[in-house]
Chain A
Amino acid sequence: MHKIVLSALLALSFSTSLSHAQSAWTGGDDLPTNPLACDATPATPVSKPYDGGEPTNAPDRKGKTLKVVDVPKLVGIGYFNATSKGIADAAKEMGTMDAKTDGPSKANIDDQITLIDNYITSGVDGILFAANDPVAIAPVLKKALAAGINVVGYDANSTPDARQWFVNQAEFNGIAKASIDSMAKEIGEDGAFAIVTSTFTTPNQARWISEMQAYQTKCHPNMKWLETVEAQEDNILSFNQANTLINKYGDDLKGIFGMTSVATPAAAEAVTQAGKCGKVAVVGLATPNAMKPYVNKDCVKSVVLWNPVDLGYAAAYVLRATADGDLKPGSTSVKAGKLGELSVINGSEILLGAPTVFTKDNINDFDF
C-alpha cells in the first residue's frame, strides 16, 4: 500500500511538470492593460473625477504639527530606506511634521495591517503607506479614514476609496515603455530576455510585467520573452536565479529585467561574475548605490528609476497639503516643496514626474 502511495506521489509530481505553452508572461496579473504609443507621443492625460476616500470629521489641522507614521511594504531594503529619508527630509524642511517610519520585517499583509491598526489606536494625524496588497489593506485604511486620520499612499496603491491621495512615481505603462525601450536599444529588436521578479503576488511587479508584455507585443513584436523567475526580496536567491537563467539559455539570453531593487543588482552581479558584461544587458529598477559598481564598469548602461527620496518627499508634502485642506477633491495640482507643482491624474493620484535615469555620468552624485 505504501509503495502505491509513493508511486502516486512521484507520478503526480512529474505530471505537473508538463509545461503548458503560456500566452501570458508568467508573473503578470490579468488586469486590463493600456500600452502607450510606440513613438514618443505622450499619453493622453486621463481626466477622471475624484475617486479617493474622505476622512470622517477630520479635525482642522491647518498649521498644526502633524504626527505622521509611514508604513512601507517592509523595512530593510534600500528602496524604502530612501523613501523614508525623503519623508524625513520633508518633515525637517516643513518643521511642522513629526514623521516616523515603522514597517513590517517581512513583506506580508498581516503585519502591515496590524501596525496600521495600532497607529490608528494611538491617534496619529496622518498615515503614509506603501501597500503590500491593494485590497487587503483597504479595510484598515478605511478604518483610519473613519477615525478622521488623513491617509496618503505612495509607491504601491490601495483601492482608491481607502485613501485620499496616492503619489504615483510613474504610470505602470510608462515604466513598461521605458524598460522595454531601453532593453530593445541594448539587445536589438529580436533579442531574447528573461525576468527576475520578487514574487508573482506582488501587485506592482505583476502590473509592470503585464504592461511590459502589452507594450512589447505592440511595439517590439520580434523580441522574445523567455521566462520569469521568482526571487523574493533575497539578494542571494536573486543572484542564483539570474545565474540559472544565464546558464540555461547560454548565448540565447541577451537581456535580464530586474523587477525590484533587490533583483537588479543581483542580476548585474550574476552577469559580471559570469563574465558576460556587455553580452547580457541588465535593465531594471534599483537604487544608485547598489548599482554604482556595475554602472561605473560599464556593465549596466542605465538604471531607469524614479527618485525614491523624491517620492517620499512628495508624499509628505501631499499629506501636509491634504491635512491643511489646501489639496482637496477637485484640485488639479499641489505644491510639493522643492519639487514644485505636481499634477493630479487619474482622479486622485499625484504624478511624481519623469523618471530619473542613472547613468555613468550622474550616478555618483546620488547617495541612497
Chain B
Amino acid sequence: MNLKSLIRHETFLALLLVAVLVVLSFQSDRFFTVSNLLNQGRLMTETGLIAIAMTFVIATGGIDLSVGSILGLVAILTGVFWHNVGMPLGLAAVAAIAVGTFAGFVNGLIITRFRVPPLIATLATLALYRGLAEGISQARSVRGYPDWFYVLGQGEVLGVPTQLWILVAAAIIASVILAYTRWGRTVYAIGSNEVASRFSGLSVEKTKLALYTASGFAAAVAAVIFVSRVSTTRSDMGTGIELDAITAVVLGGTSIFGGRGTILGTVIGLCLIQALKNGLSLAGVKGDGTIMLIGAVLILAILASNLFERSGTR
C-alpha cells in the first residue's frame, strides 16, 4: 500500500471539494449556509452509512450490490413487525435491523462458503431480497408512526440533524478500525493479495463474513432512518442506492481491485456528490443536467487522480 499516493488522492479530492463549494456558493447565496449544509448532511446519511460499509467491502476486492434491496426489506419489515405482528416500535426496528444484518451474513456465507464471486452473489440476492420485500409487504405501506419515531429522521439533536450524529460516529469508528486495527490491515491485505493473506494465516473467511454482515447492518440502519425520514414504508425503497454508494466509494479513491481506500476518501467523495446535487440545483440546473455532471466528475476525477499517480495500478 502506497501511503504517499493514498494521501495524494484524498488531498486532490479535498481540494476539488473546496473548489466545488466555492464555485457553487457563488452561484447561489443559499448554498453555503449552515442550515443548508446541515440539511444536506441529513439527506446524505443513508447513502453515507452504506458507503462507509461498502468501503471495507470494496477494499477487499469485493462488492455488494444487494444493499438497496436489504434497505427495502428492512424498511418494510419495520412496518410489518410493528403493525402486523404487533411488536412495540423500538423492538420492531431492532428486529428488522437484525434481519437485515442476517441478510448481509447470508451474502457473506454465499461468498465465503460457496465461493461465489461477490458480484454474482450479490446480484442474485439483490433480486431475492427485493422480491422478499415485495412479497412480505404485499405491496402495502405502513404509516402512522408515533411522533417520537420521527425524531430520528426528521428531528434534531443540539441543532444538528439526528442522523448526522450517527453518520459522523460511524465514520469515525470506521476510519479508526480501518486505519489502526489489525482488522483493518487484514482488509487491505485481503484486497492486495488474497492468496498470500491466506497463507500468512490471516482469517480471510471470517473477515469477509464480518464485512458483508456489516454491510447488511449498515443498510439496515439506513433503512430505519429512511422510514423515519419519510414516515412510511415501501417495498421499492433503496432502489439504486448501491450505485450511489459505489460512486462515492470509488470517487473517494478506493480501488475497485482492492487493497486501497480510506473512509476519509469515501466521506469526501460523498460530500462532493451531495454538494454537486444540491448546489447545481440551487444554481438552476435541472435534475438531468445534474446527473450528467456527476457522471462526468466521477470519470474526470479518477482520470486526473490516475494521471498524478505514476504507479498506474490497473
Contact = CB atoms under 8 A, between A and B. Distances in A.
Interface of A: 2, 16, 27, 29-30, 75, 100, 102-106, 108-111, 113-115, 117-119, 121-123, 133, 135-139, 199-201, 206
B278 A2 contact: no
Interface of B: 28, 30-31, 36, 39, 43, 113-114, 134-135, 139-141, 143, 150, 154, 226, 229-232, 234-237, 239-241, 277-278, 281-282, 286-288, 291
A29 B39 contact: no
23 contacts: A29-B139, A75-B288, A100-B286, A102-B287, A105-B288, A108-B240, A109-B234, A109-B237, A110-B226, A111-B287, A114-B43, A114-B277, A115-B281, A118-B277, A121-B282, A122-B30, A123-B30, A137-B230, A139-B154, A139-B231, A199-B236, A200-B134, A201-B234
A104 B287 contact: yes
Contacts of A111: 287
Given A135-B232, A199-B236, A121 B30 contact: yes
A29 B134 CA distance: 14
Contacts of A29: 139-140
A75 B287 CA distance: 10
A151 B282 CA distance: 19
A20 to B, nearest CB: 11
A122 B139 contact: no
Nearest to A203: B141
Q: Which one of A27, A113, A119, A135 has the greatest number of beta carbons of chain B within 10 Å?
A: A135
A136 B234 contact: yes
Given A75-B287, A200-B134, A201-B235, 15 more contacts: A2-B114, A102-B286, A105-B287, A105-B291, A106-B239, A109-B234, A114-B277, A115-B281, A135-B141, A135-B230, A135-B231, A135-B232, A138-B231, A199-B139, A201-B139
Nearest 7 interchain pairs by C-beta: A200-B139, A118-B281, A135-B232, A136-B230, A102-B286, A135-B143, A122-B282
Contacts of B288: 75, 105
A149 to B, nearest CB: 14
A108 B239 contact: yes
Contacts of B229: 139
Contacts of B43: 114, 117
The prevalent SS among residues of A at the interface is loop
Contacts of B241: 110
A116 to B, nearest CB: 10
B236 A113 contact: no
A13 to B, nearest CB: 10
A122 B134 CA distance: 36
Contact of B139 (A103, A109, A110, A206): A206
Contact of B28 (A75, A106, A122): A122
A56 B277 CA distance: 27
B230 A139 contact: yes
Contacts of A123: 30
B148 to A, nearest CB: 15
Contact of A121 (B135, B154, B278): B278
Contacts of B232: 133, 135-136
Nearest to B150: A139
A119 B230 CA distance: 18
B236 A108 contact: yes
A30 B241 CA distance: 29
A146 B35 CA distance: 15
A136 B154 CA distance: 12
Nearest to B228: A139
B141 A201 contact: yes
Contact of A119 (B139, B235, B240, B281): B281
Contacts of B36: 121
B270 to A, nearest CB: 14
Contacts of A110: 226, 237, 241
A27 B138 CA distance: 9
A136 B79 CA distance: 14
